[in-house]
Amino acid sequence: MQGTHITKHSADRMQQRGIPPLILDWLMAYGVTEHDHNGAEIHYFDKKAKRQMERDFGSQILRRLDDLLDTYLVVGVDGVVITVGHRTQRINRL
């Protein structure tokens, strides 16, 4: 994770949930950002982001990592990754 600061909590969640650091890098580079209205930002992949990654990395790589593309991360006000997880619900866009 190039230059991304993470908390111990988020590192533990990455390990528990089987999310590799590469996915966090991709979320920061390609992911859509939504504000949670409490000061934090939620990063996740939408269809447009997945299409761009497919153009950049190829469809075979994205198919192999498809289970990891439902991942999200939450970045606090200080720019540190607070937590990481798998989306099970739609992220509300306000």
Q: Is residue 1 part of a domain?
A: no
Q: Is residue 94 part of a domain?
A: no
Assess whether pLDDT exceeds 70 at residue 4.
no
Q: Is residue 3 part of a domain?
A: no
Instruction: Tell me if 39 sits within 8 A of 45, measured CB to CB.
Output: no
Q: Is residue 51 part of a domain?
A: yes
Instruction: Tell me if 67 sits within 8 A of 17, measured CB to CB.
Output: no
Q: Please write the tens of the pLDDT for every residue from 22-58.
A: 999 999 999 999 998 888 999 999 999 999 999 999 9
Selection from 16, 28, 14, 19 nearest residue 67 by Cα = 19
Which residue has 């790589």 as its token pair?
A: 61
The range of the structural domain enclosing residue 34 comes to 8-86
Instruction: Tell me if 68 sits within 8 A of 87, measured CB to CB.
Output: no
Q: Whole-prediction pTM value?
A: 0.85
Number of structural domains the chain divides into: 1
Q: Is residue 91 part of a domain?
A: no
Q: Is residue 55 part of a domain?
A: yes
